[in-house]
Chains A and B, each alone.
Chain A
Amino acid sequence: MSGSAGSRAAVGGASAASRAWPLAAWAVVVAGLLLFPLVGRGFALFFLARIAILALFAMGFNLLFGYAGLLSFGHAAFYSAGAYTAGFILKAYPSLLAGVVGGVVVASLLGLVIGFFCVRHIDIYFAMLTLAFGMLVFSLVWKWVALTGGDNGFIGIPRAPLVLPGVGPVSMTPIGHYYEFVMAVTILTVAGLWRIVQSPFGLVLRALRENPERVEFAGIPMRRYRLTAFVLSAAVAGLAGTLLAPLENTVGPETAHWATSGEPVLASLLGGASTFTGPIVGAVLLELIKEVVERHTQYWLLAMGTVLVILVLGFRGGVVGGLGALLRRLRPGPTPQAAPADPPAATEP
């Protein structure tokens, strides 16, 4: 194979052989997750479902942060909007699908409204504005007792049966069933997000992160693209929320608190915001650390903080980014980018 043909193949995507491996690895992970109820019981299923929900939440957040370069501190607003809406619907009309779809729609609409104001700004102004909107939503949830139950939370949400066209009602009461539902939704959404970040739209998002002005001068209305990314991100965060409500049977106001907005931020940083899978890995780590440390001490935040400081100082790319760099160093194969006929670029001073 000639060199130029090789580089052409690299542009079109990795070659067939190098493509098969990750695909096989993904298939194993997916099968493992879906088959887990055969061996796992009660709490393990509950715990994995919670990880999946946080992973979804973080994936949604990171579409905006890792790809479009916009750091939101207010994603709990969409998460809680999804959770509460699903709760309201499920209590009034026991259909799981209705709750999930309704929650996603409301979270997306909220994302459209909040995003409309936020995407005009970038950097710290964007972050502060999303934080402010997030707090606004929190105080609504907190004070509108008649609707949300205030600080008692909205309780008694049923795990309503799943009705699909052609499929009779599937009871979701056994945790094993609900676990499968959460996993299926998570896996499908992650696959969809993968499609999105590979798409032309995903490329434009990464370009936006790098240089928004040049995107505009490439002939692309950048604000509209930012808003679209914002709404997509809010929809996924909302979807995560809708899955939470039936799992826990209650939704508390803490789902809207800014500390909840911090969780996807932590998960993304922990796992690696510049990688696609980083938020998933980060969500696993975050929930594990929380669970393990909480058994020994109530100061789990202390452990969390320590881990985060180490990662940020030592592992700028998060766990996934750091491991990737390590693998590339250990396996001196063909370097990903050869830049022939050009002296190595001088490093920035």
Chain B
Amino acid sequence: MSPLLRVEGLVKAFGELRAVDGVSFEVEAGPVTCIIGPNGAGKTTLVNLLTGRLLPDRGRVLFGGLDITWAPAHARVRLGLSRSFQINSVFPQLTVAENVAVPILARRGQSAVLGRPAWTVAGLAEEVGRVLAEWRLEPFRDAPASSLSHGTQRLLEIAIAMATRPRLLFLDEPTAGLSPGEKPQVLAELRRVASAGETTFVLIEHDMDIVFSLADRIIVMHRGRILADGAPAAIRDDRGVQEVYLGAALGAQASPARAGEAAGAPQLLVVAGLNTFYGQSHVLHDVSLTVREGEVVGLLGRNGAGKTTTLRSLIGLTPPRSGRVLLAGKPIAGLPPHAIAASGVGYVPEDRRIFRDLTVTDNLLVAQRAQEDRAGGPWSLDRVWALFPDLRALARLRGDQLSGGQQKMLAIARALMGNPRLLLLDEPSEGLAPGVVRTLAETLRKIRDEGVAILLAEQNAVFAALVADRVYVLENGRIQMEESGAVVRAHPEVLQRYLAVEGTRVG
């Protein structure tokens, strides 16, 4: 018997980036599969290719033995291959019942009926009722979807997908944006439906508790390829996986830390009681932290822990709903991003955002600011070249001709040209080869020694420990612990509870 899903050599490139780079695997009916991997590993792109949201450059997709590589999304759904979305994708102004009625009518081939009121279609109300009951949505039946809480919308999101009665269902981060209190509910529903056996689940998930409690099989993706594929126990012991999640391969290389010095330095950034929301979802809960002058502070946590949101809140891109942010004693919370940047905060987002059509030199000059007297004076091209000798050699290349790692360096260098007192770096080591990561660590230490404090968000605990004088661990939008860099370097196991793949209990 042919497998439910068979994927052969799937490739999808966006420009130079091969988001999915030769992926092959099979899914048998029954077992729950989880796809994990760092941000940008290609997980969502893979699901987009399999469900028809994107079309591949190469490769084949067979569903139940049928070649569906080029089939439109709606045809795949009709065959029994469905999906839910990472960001809620419901019909906001329709009632909950109508939201579920749309896929049910489609499946019954009655969505094109013109001549009779929808709710008089035989059996529709009953089936809608069954689906709503199954997902505990009955109390909201006549409420517009937009009035539901984020968590309830999350359930509706899955219920819509389930209402197509799929044989294979891809769930893209079903618990994304849910509070710790809401997750068990979704988890319990999924487990119950999975055990009913009519639908085979494939989940993309970052929450390791959920992964290990649900998965019969785990596929680990990294840079568009499958890094590991097997039973949870085997994945937990896989060295390659540990490297991806922990950066273990780097080896602990002691940083000439200045923690002792910094401890006495004045506080540059003081954050107190920060609460940030995306729409209705409460992402940051009372986040408080400090960065001293001349200090590198690491903000650690898994994907979705709230690291990026913290940085975005600080620079003003996602203004916090409450809380205080002081930069050198002056409040900056609520200011527009350009004002915060002008007061001395540099921000390097994870996706770099360099000017692709400008040369390296022009990228830097665009960002240059004449500056009042601050330690070391204003940054100039020469000063940047001294710090990033590799960039100097590339000075005349266009931004889009640089590799990912070079673009990352350029983005950091460009932020420096704005003469920041504090640099916010989002996942600087992400997607960099180990050798480049080491250079980056050295460069960051040099920047610190030039008098610029750094707050860096990292999934890579080993990298953060390497450069940070102090680290905070974020989990589910809350600061869970604070530890000096020296302690973390000496006893990396203190972080395991929050970050490691291993050490996560099943249950």
Contacts and interface: CB of A to CB of B under 8 A. Distances in A.
B142 A337 contact: yes
B321 A216 contact: no
B280 A345 contact: yes
Interface in A297-323: none
Interface string A181-207: 000000000000001101111111011
A91 to B, nearest CB: 34
A339 interface: yes
Interface stretch (B144-152, B300-308, B405-413, B415-423): B144-152
A10 interface: yes
Interface string B71-98: 0111101100011010001111111011
A218 B116 contact: no
Interface in A108-152: none
A218 B102 contact: yes
A203 B116 contact: no
A211 B92 CA distance: 8
Interface stretch (B104-112, B219-227, B326-334, B483-491): B104-112
A21 interface: no
B139 A339 contact: yes
A7 B119 CA distance: 13
Contacts of A216: 72-74, 77
Interface centre among B90, B115, B152 (most CB of A within 10 A): B115
Interface stretch (A33-41, A75-83, A219-227, A258-266): A219-227
Nearest to A201: B114
Contacts of A336: 142
Nearest to A211: B91
A199 B102 contact: no
Contact of A217 (B77, B114, B141, B147): B77
Contacts of A214: 85, 89-91, 160
Given A7-B141, A337-B147, A346-B277, A219 B74 contact: yes
A222 B74 contact: yes
A218 B164 contact: yes
Interface in A312-349: 336-343, 345-346, 348-349
Contacts of A217: 51, 73-74, 77, 82-83, 89, 161
Given A220-B106, A339-B148, 11 more contacts: A8-B129, A200-B118, A203-B118, A213-B53, A218-B77, A218-B160, A219-B106, A220-B111, A221-B72, A339-B140, A342-B140
25 contacts: A10-B142, A11-B97, A11-B125, A12-B119, A195-B116, A199-B113, A200-B105, A201-B114, A203-B98, A204-B106, A206-B98, A211-B89, A211-B92, A214-B90, A216-B74, A217-B82, A218-B106, A219-B107, A220-B102, A221-B74, A337-B95, A339-B147, A339-B148, A342-B149, A343-B149
Interface of A: 4, 7-8, 10-13, 195-196, 198-204, 206-207, 210-211, 213-222, 225, 228, 336-343, 345-346, 348-349
